[in-house]
Structure 1
Amino acid sequence: MLVEMEQLNEEAAKLAAAPLWPLTDDELTGLLRTTHHLQQVVTTLQARLIRQADTRALPAAGGHRTLTGWLRTVVRLDPQPARELTDLAAALAHQPSLEQAVLDGHLDLRQAAVIAETLRGLPADLAEFDDVTPAEAGDIAEQARATMTEMAAQLPAFQLRRVGERILAHVAPHLAEQFEQAALARQEARARAKRGVTLSLPVDGLVRLSGVLGAEDAATVQAALHPLCAPTPGDDRTKAQRRADALVDVCRLALRTADLPEDGGEPPQLAVTVAFDPLTRALGAATTDTGNRLSPETARRLACDARILPVVLGGAGQILDAGRTRRLAGGTLRRALHVRDGGCVFPHCDRPPRWTDAHHIVSWLDGGPTALDNLALLCREHHRLVHHPTAGWQIRLGPDRKPEFIPPPAVDATRRPRRNVYHRRE
C-alpha cells in the first residue's frame, strides 16, 4: 500500500507542475472538481490512518501526550490544521457509510462530519422518549442519515448543520417539538461549557482574536457592536474592520467607566522605550514593556490618552530621560473637554464624548502640556488619521479657542479651516 501511495504521489506531483494554459475552460473546471474530490479522498485516508495510529497507541509510544501533538510532529503541521484533522478522524469513527459516501463523491468531508455529529446525538436524544423503542430509534437514525446525505447534494455543510438541528421535523415530525426543546437546553449547556476567547502572540503586528460564545452571549455582543458598525461618509473599511473597531471602542468605553476593577478603570499604563536621534531630534520605533514594537506615530497617539512612562534612548543607548509620567486628561479637565467639544471634533463626525480620546494638539512627547488649550476630543478613527504621517490633516485652536482642522491640499487646495458643526457647543 505504501509503494502504491508513493507512486501516486509522484504522478500527482508531475500533474501539479504541468502547464495549464492548454486546457479549455471546461477542462479547467472539470480538473478543479476532480482535484477537490482527490483531496477529499486523501484526507479520508489520513483520518483512517490517524485513528489506526491512535488505536495502536503510537502517540504515547513516541512520548506525546495527545494525538494532535503526535500528528504535528509526524507531518510538521501547525496546531490548528492538526486539531482539525484529529477532530475529523474522531467525527468519522464508526461511520463507514459516511466515509464511503465521501470516497464515492456524494459528500465532502465537512458535510460528512456534520451528519456524523447529528447521528451521534440521536440515540441519547431519542432515549428520552418513553414511547420510542430501540428499534424505532435505529430506524429514525437511519432515515436521518439518508435524508441528510440526499440533502447534501444541494446544501453546503453550514446549511446542512441547520437541517441536522431540526432533523426530526423531517423524519419524525411527531417528536420534533419535544426534541427541539430538549436539544436547545443541551445546546445552551454545551455552549456555556465551551465558551472562551483567546488572543495569540503578535505576528507581523497582528494579534489573532478567536473564541466561541453561546447564542445569548453572541446576541449581547452583536447588540453592543451594531450601533458602532455603521459606515461613515467616505468610509472604506470592510465590515470585518468596522466590527473590529467597534469591539475596541466598546472596550475603551468600558475602561473609562468606574465600574471595572481598580486596575482597569482607566486606559492602561505603558512603559515605552523610544529611540531618539539627537542630530535630527526625531523619534524612532518604540518598544512597549510587553516587548511589542510600535511605530513612532503610534507611540505619539497612545501618549494622548494613556499613561506612558517614556524612556528615551540616545544613539549609544544611554538614558536621556526616564520616569516622567504624564497626567491624564481626567476628572475636571475631561469634563471641561466634554462641554467644550461635545464629541469628536473632526468635521462631520457624530461620535459622542465617551467614544473619544483626549488628543494633544502639541504632542505630549514634544513637551505639549495636558491643558484645555492643548487638547481636543477625537474618536479612535480620526485620532489615527490625525497622527498618520502622510494624511496631512492639521489641528489647531481657532480665535475662539475651539478646535478646527486644516485639510491637506488633496482634500481642499485652499486649505480653508473646517469645524465639526454636528455637536452642539455653547
Structure 2
Amino acid sequence: MTFSSTRDTATMGHSSAVAAMRKAREQVTHTFEATPSAGAVAEVLDDICQVWHDMDQAKLHILMRLAHIHSTGNLLEVGGQRTLAGWITQALGTSPAEARSLACLADSLFHERLPETRQALDSGLLSLGEATATAKAVEAATKTRDETEFPDPDAFRQLMDSGMMAVKADNPALSASQLARLGRRISVQLHPTLVEDEHRRAHRNRRLDVLRSFEGSFYLQASGPEVDAELLEKAVAAFTKPLNPTGPRQSKAERSYDAFMKLIRSALGHQNCTKPPGPLAMINVTVPLDVYTGQRATVPKGDGDGAATQDGMLLAMEAVRALSPGSVLRRVITDPATGKPLDVGRGMRNAPEQIRTVAHHGRTTCAWPQGCDVPISGTEADHVTSYSRGGRTSAENIQPLCSTHNRLKWRRENNPHRATWKGRPAHRRPDPPPQPEPPPPRE
C-alpha cells in the first residue's frame, strides 16, 4: 500500500497529536490516581487548576484550527456540516448550546474581534468557559446596540471587550455567569434606553398559556418583563413551606408547585375582597434619587448608576415607578468623598437592615474570595473580622456570605493550621524556559 507525500504528512501530523495527547492523559491519570493526604489537598487543587488551564489552551488552539477550516469552506466539503456549531455538536458530542458558545468564541477570536479576551486567555486570567461567556455577552450586546451611536459593530465589540476585561483584571474571581451579567450591565451603560425599550417590548408581547396533555397533566408557559419574574418568585417564595425533615421527602420544585397552587386558591378566595391588600413581598431595588425623580431621564454613558435589584437584575424605570405606590422607600446616604459607611460599633451583633443595605451595595452574589454564584438574596450578613474576635458591626466589616461559606469561614478560623486552597491564581505560572540543545558530538 502506498500513500502520496501530502497524505502521509497529514497522517503523521494527526498521529503525533493523538499520541502526545494519549501520553499526557496517561501521565495525568497516573498522577491523580493516588489519594492525597489531608495536608496535600491544597497543592493538588492547584495542580488541577494548572492542568485544566493547559487543557483549555489545547482546546483553544483546536477551536482556532476549526475556525480556519470553516473559513476555507472545507468544513462543509470535508466535514459534512455547514456551520461550526453543527460540526462541534455532531463530531465532538457536545450539547447544541455549548457548541454555539464555542463556535461564537472561535469565530470572534479567529477574526480578531476580541483582542483583550485573547490576551486574557493566553495569560491565564480567563478560562475557556469564561471566554465563551464573554464572547456570547459581547455578541448579544452588539445585536442590540444603538446603531446610530455605534455604526461599526467591530468597534463596539472591542469597546465591550475592553470594559469586561478591565473589570475581570480587577476581580479575577468573577465567574462565567457573573461575566454574562457584567456584559449586560456594560451594554446598558453604552445604550441607556435599552432596558426601557426591552421592558416595553416584553410587556407588549406578554402571554400566559396553559397547555393540557393527553396524560392528564398540564404545562404552564409564560413570558413577560423581568420585573414580573421577580414578583412571581417572591410570591411563590412567600407561600412555600420550609422543608419538613420528618414529613414525606419533597423537592424544592414540588414545594414551589404546591405554593403556586396555594397562591392561586388564595387569589380566587379574595377576588371580591374590598379590604386593601397587605404589603407585597420585599424586593430591594437600588436607584439613584435623581433618576427616580426624573431629574435624569436616562443613565449617562459610563455611569454605573441605574435601577437594579439586589441580585443585579436591571429594571426599567417605568417598572420601578409602577411598583412605587405600594412600596416603602428608604434613603441611604454615603459620603462621596470618604465613602464612610454606617457603624453601630460592638453594641449590636446582628447587623440591622440599614447596615446590610450599605454593606451589600454594589454586590450581587456571595462575597467568598474564591468565587460563588449564590445570589445576594440567598446570603447572610457575615462579619469580615468576626464579632468574637473584636469585629465591629459596621458596613465596612459586613459582607454577604451564603450559608455554606459562612460556616466554612467559621471552621477555618477555628482550625487555622489546616492547609486551605487559596483560589485560582490571577495569572498562570509562566512556562519554563526551553532546555538548550546539547552541543554536537566532537568528531
Specify the TM-score bucket, using the shorter chain as the normaliser.
0.3 to 0.5
Task: Flag the structure with higher strand content.
Answer: 1
Q: Pick 1 or 2: higher relative contact order, CA cutoff 8 A, min separation 6.
A: 2
| TM-score, normalising length: structure 1 | 0.42
Q: Indicate the structure (1 or 2) with the bigger Cα radius of gyration.
A: 1
- TM (normalized to structure 2)? 0.41
